[in-house]
Structure 1
């Protein structure tokens, strides 16, 4: 009951808090690389020469991945970032299963100077759109 009284009396402070939390969340989202839809990703690959970094586990990668994707599991990216230096001049699209690891990997790569984009919805969204996958 006291909570609702506080909110009604201090509506301006509560509104400011909500706006600041939203701005913080939005800022953190873009620090990890701009999200890209599956259609944007196909355009980036075909026109801009972007490369896909698949950060899923080996079994998930073998079950199906985007053509010419570079595979480095999310837990190994920090140690193996030097393998990606040849892709610094083109957009690097981070793809994972559902989008849960792409943010952390994207943030790390952006700090290293990469042009990072994140596949929105991850590989699940790619497969749901019936886009091509390479098995093996």
Structure 2
């Protein structure tokens, strides 16, 4: 299983990471982390080639650990061994940073 990135680690060095929100469009529009790119989990495998190689990919979902962990696993399998998922997800980030 892919490794988790803590909210504190993201806050400490945000430019190191490429944030990918893997939720559905409706959820993304309702609330998302500033700078996150929206690639639904169902499209992630087909669109993985769009990810920049200079930053560590970090998948995000609402609470963290469900769809985001699955997304990071997909990216690990597709040649992004450093892909992580975000602890606390969108809601955790927004709670600490708004």
TM (norm. structure 1) is 0.63
Q: Which residue of 2 aligns with 1:68?
A: 35
Q: Which residue of 2 aligns with 1:125?
A: 92
For 1:77-128, what per-residue CA distance to the aligned partner results, in whole angstroms no more than 9, with x for missing partners?
A: 11221222xx223111110012211121111101222221211021121122
In the alignment of these two chains, the number of paired residues is 96
Uncovered stretches (5+) of structure 1, i.e. residues with no partner: 1-30
Q: Which residue of 2 aligns with 1:27?
A: none
**Structure with larger RCO (C-alpha < 8 A, sep 6+):** 2
Q: Which residue of 2 aligns with 1:18?
A: none
RMSD value, Cα: 1.5
Alignment map for 1:38-49 (pairs within 5 Å): 38-46=7-15, 48=16
Moved over 6 A (4+): none
The structure that is strand-richer by fraction is 2
8 Å Cα contact 1:98-1:124 kept in structure 2: yes
Q: Which residue of 2 aligns with 1:88?
A: 53
TM (norm. structure 2) is 0.84
Per the alignment, in what secondary structure is the counterpart of residue 98 of structure 1? coil
